[in-house]
Amino acid sequence: MKGVSTKITKTLIPSSTLTCADNSGAAMFKIINKLGKGHRHGRLAAAGLGDIVIASVIKGTPTYLKKPVRVVIIRTKSPVRRHSGMRLRFEDNAGIMIGEDNLPIGTEVKGAMAREVVERFVKVAGIASRVV
């Protein structure tokens, strides 16, 4: 996985909720754990923009309900500081479902997506409506 050009604050911990921003059939996720944890001993593994998490679908179609899925975080409420000094902040925490090969399951993304996610996942950028 490629690094990003921005300092991303890791603010989403297990049991945080995310809205689903694609048309895969899920509506809301609950984070179970971060993939490739990398956290301090005794501390919860936190995730931020562009991280892959394992989440459970808590609202959506019965095919995905209560099943663990892989999710990429594309928006966070917490501000992200870019090297230019600009701070980027969204109105919700959102993610999209991806498969084992890091390809998106849905065919379109509702709402904006951070540029930091596009740097890591080029295929996800293909279905984005707006990149901020």
Q: Give the bridge partners for 18, in sequence order.
A: 29
Question: 67 Cβ partners below 8 Å, 6+ apart?
Answer: 56, 57
pLDDT at position 2 over 70: no
* pTM across the whole model: 0.89
12 found inside a domain: no
Residue 68 CA, distance from chain mean position: 14
Six token digits for residue 100: 């084992």
Residue corresponding to tokens 């609950």: 30
Number of domains in the chain: 1
pLDDT tens-digit series, residues 56-100? 999 999 999 999 999 999 999 999 888 888 899 999 999 999 999
32 domain residue, yes or no: yes
Cβ-in-10-Å burial (0-12, 13-18, 19+) of 27 comes to middle
Asked whether residue 8 is assigned to any structural domain, the reply reads no
Q: Which domain holds residue 61?
A: 17-131
- Let me know if residue 39 belongs to a domain: yes
Q: Which of 24, 17, 5 is nearest to 109 (CA)?
A: 24
Residue 90 placed within a domain: yes
pLDDT tens for 101-127 read: 999 999 999 999 999 999 899 888 889
CATH number, domain with residue 120: 2.40.150.20
- Report if residue 102 sits inside a domain: yes
**Per-residue pLDDT for 1 more than 70?**
no
Say if 91 falls within a structural domain: yes
Cα separation, 114 vs 74, whole angstroms? 6
Tell me how far apart the alpha carbons of residues 20 and 25 are, in angstroms, rounded to a whole number. Answer: 9
Do the Cβ atoms of 114 and 50 come closer than 8 Å?
yes
What's the pLDDT tens digit per position in 17-49? 999 999 999 999 999 999 886 677 888 889 999
User: Distance (Å, rounded) from C-alpha 105 to C-alpha 90?
Assistant: 23
